[in-house]
Structure 1
Amino acid sequence: MIGRIDGVRRNERMKILIAVTNTPTYGEKDAATGLWLGEAAEFVDEVSKRGFEMDYVSSKGGFAPLDPRSMKKAYADHATIAWYRMPDFEERALACTLRPEEVDADRYDALYYTGGHGVMWDFPSSEGLARIGLAIYGQGGYLASVCHGIAGLLYLQKDGEYLVAGKNITGFTTMEEYLSGHSGDIPFWNERVAKAHGAVFRKKRPFASFAIQDGRIVTGQNPESPRAVARLLLENIG
Structure 2
Amino acid sequence: MTKALMVVTNNPKFKKIQRATGIWLKEATHFNKVMVDNGIDVDYVSPQGGYVPIDPLSMGTDDMDMIDWEYYSDDVFRNQHLAASKKPSDINPNDYDVIYFVGGHGTMGDFPDNKDLAQLAETIYQNGGIVSANCVGVCGLLAMRSEDGQRFIHGRKLTGFTNDEEALNGLTNDVDFLLEDELAKAGAAFSKGTPFESHVVVDDRLITGQNPNSAAGVGEAVIKELLQ
1:94 aligns with 2:79: no
Gaps of 5+ in 2: none
The Cα shift of 1:155 comes to 2.7
SS of equivalent residue, structure 1 residue 161: coil
**Match 1:209 to one of 198, 202, 207:** 198
Alpha-carbon displacement from aligned partner over 1:80-107 (angstroms, at most 9, x marks no partner)? 1111110001122210000000000000
SS of equivalent residue, structure 2 residue 103: coil
1:162 aligns with 2:170: no
Which segments of structure 1 move beyond 3 Å, counting only runs of 4 or more?
none
1:116 aligns with 2:100: no
TM-score (norm 2): 0.96
SS of equivalent residue, structure 1 residue 224: helix
SS of equivalent residue, structure 1 residue 21: coil
Q: Tell me if the contact between 1:194 and 1:201 (Cα under 8 Å) persists in the aligned partners.
A: yes
1:105 aligns with 2:93: yes
Question: How many aligned positions are there?
Answer: 226
Q: Tell me if the contact between 2:113 and 2:142 (Cα under 8 Å) persists in the aligned partners.
A: no
Instruction: Return the alpha-carbon distance in structure 2 between the equivalents of residues 79 and 208 of structure 1.
Output: 18
Instruction: Return the alpha-carbon distance in structure 2 between the equivalents of residues 146 and 236 of structure 1.
Output: 16
Instruction: Return the alpha-carbon distance in structure 1 between the equivalents of residues 82 and 134 of structure 2.
Output: 18
The Cα shift of 1:136 comes to 0.6
The Cα shift of 1:207 comes to 0.5
Alpha-carbon displacement from aligned partner over 1:135-167 (angstroms, at most 9, x marks no partner)? 111111110001001001123112221111111
Q: How does 1:169-208 map to 2 (within 5 A)?
A: 169-208=158-197
SS of equivalent residue, structure 1 residue 205: coil
Query: Letter of the aligned partner of 2:30 in structure 1?
Result: E
Q: What's the C-alpha RMSD, in Å, of the aligned pairs?
A: 1.0
Alpha-carbon displacement from aligned partner over 1:187-224 (angstroms, at most 9, x marks no partner)? 11111111111111001111111111001100000011
Q: Tell me if the contact between 2:115 and 2:143 (Cα under 8 Å) persists in the aligned partners.
A: no
Query: Letter of the aligned partner of 1:192 in structure 2?
Result: D
Between 1:106-115 and 1:153-162, the stretch displaced more is 153-162
Gaps of 5+ in 1: 1-12
